[in-house]
Structure formats: C-alpha cells, structure tokens
Amino acid sequence: MNAERLQKILSGHGVTSRREAEKMILAGRVAVNNATAVLGQTAVDGIDEITVDGVSIAPKGGLVYIMLNKPRGFITSMNDERGRKTVMDLVADVGARVYPVGRLDLNSEGLLLMTNDGHFANAVAHPSNNKKKTYDVSVRGDVSTAEELLSRAIDVGSHTVQAVSVELIKRTTEGGVLRIIINEGRNRQIRNMCLKSGLAVQSLKRIKIGALELGSLKTGQWRRLTEEEKKSLEH
C-alpha cells in the first residue's frame, strides 16, 4: 500500500477538510503510531494507527451508514469552539465515530446522512452524483408568484442557482409552505433564493435525498440505512 499525506487520509475518512487537517497537525492533535505527527508527514492508511485527540480514525465495528432527523439549534459539525450543540451529541449511541455527509445550517432541520465510510461520503457528495434534495420551506411573504420566481436562474452572489421544481403545498396567514427541489447543495442556497424572491424563510426541513425519504423518523432520532437505501445513494 502507498503512503499518503496525513491531510489526505484525514479528509478521506471524513474527519475534516485537508486545510483544517493541517491546522490539527500543527496543533499537535494528530498522532501516527503513538508519535505526534508533523506537517508533511505520510502514513499508510489501514496499516499505521492514526489518531486525532487520542481517538483512532479507523472504523470500529465496521462501516456504518445512518440517517438522522436533525433538529433546529444543532450545528452540522464534529465539534464547536463556541460550545454550541452539534449533531454529534445526537449520535453518541451509534457505537462508531460517524461524521456528517453534507450540511444543514443551525436553523434548518430534517434528513442528514452520517457515516464513517469516506468513499461513500465522497460518492454521495460529489456533484456528478446529481441527487435531488427536497425541502419543505415555510415562508413569509407573497407566495402567489413563488413557483415562477424560484424556478428561474437566481444570482446569489458568486454563482447562479435555480430550483428543479417548486410547489405551493399550503397557504398560511403570513405566506405559505413551499416544496422546493434542488440539485445543488450550496451553503444557505434556499434561504438566499427565497430572499432574492422577496420571501423570508421561517422554517426549512429537508425531507428527501434522491429516493431516500425522512418518513416518520422522529426529530433528534437516527436509524441505520438499509443496503438498498445505501446503494440508491451511491449511484
């Protein structure tokens, strides 16, 4: 097996990005075979023992694939310097060190995938996978033209985005609930699209990724994916 830079190995296991991995190495948080690692060091994944903060990055108990119904008020991160609640608090009983695939921001909720399989995470998150993501979004404002406006190409600063489809599923006294399907998953994409269309997001819940549905899974709870569900996300 070939030796690889530690940053690449840590990223491949979904521990963090390569840039953040460099910071972790410089901070002395990474060790290889019980010796503190240095920047530029290489190791052989699966042979050398690599730990972060004393915890091995190698999956224990095999590879794990779960879906979590993320509540509002939790950040999608392994840890938080500001002491905020993270999704890791909700999956402490999984029995393995898992990490999020993609993100839902602090005030968003719903379907979040988590795993300890870096190859699966990369396959699902890669743009070529083209998995549609479905959200139920409660908005305040005039929803009479929402379907037309959100289906157009919208400039949100550094890029242009648009919804695959938009459906008004409920009217409310302040606006309505929209079912929005997108291909991309850019940071705060739907919130920015709504803002540009004169709508204020009150709540946002992801209910589906590809063919995988959140279903009746309760808020704050998780369950393992079936083999069929896992395969549907990879292809």
**What pTM does this model have?**
0.77
State whether 222 and 168 are in the same domain. Answer: no
For residues 136 and 192, state if they share a domain: yes
> Are residues 190 and 221 located together in one domain of the fold?
no
Query: What pLDDT digit, counting tens, does each position of 141-167 carry?
Result: 999 999 999 999 988 777 888 899 999
**What does the mean pLDDT of the chain come to?**
90
* 39 lies in the same domain as 143: no
Mean pLDDT of 75-95: 88
Mean pLDDT computed over 59-87? 88
148 and 217 belong to one structural domain: no
225 or 235, which is more confident: 225
Quick check: 120 pLDDT over 60? yes
Indicate whether 117 and 229 sit together in one domain: yes
Task: Kindly report the CATH number assigned to the domain that includes residue 15.
Answer: 3.10.290.10
Specify the pLDDT at position 61.
63
Q: Is the pLDDT of residue 1 over 70?
A: no
Catalytic residue set: 105
The structural domain count of the chain equals: 3
Give residue 46's pLDDT band: very low, low, confident or very high (50, 70, 90). Answer: low
Same domain membership, residue 221 and residue 172: no
Banded model confidence at residue 60, pLDDT cuts 50, 70, 90 = low
Question: Do 50 and 16 have their domain in common?
Answer: yes
How confident is the model over 35-59, as a mean pLDDT?
84
For residues 154 and 108, state if they share a domain.
no
Domain that holds residue 113: 65-128+212-234
Q: What is the pLDDT of residue 59?
A: 64
Measured CA angle at 97 (ends 95, 101), to 5 deg: 120
pLDDT tens across 18-31, in order? Answer: 888 999 999 999 99
pLDDT, average across residues 71-100? 89
Whole-number pLDDT of residue 87: 95
| CATH number of the domain that residue 202 is part of | 3.30.70.1560
In a shared domain, residues 109 and 225:
yes
Query: In this structure, are 70 and 102 located in the same domain?
Result: yes
Domain shared by 115 and 230, yes or no:
yes
CATH number at residue 220: 3.30.70.580
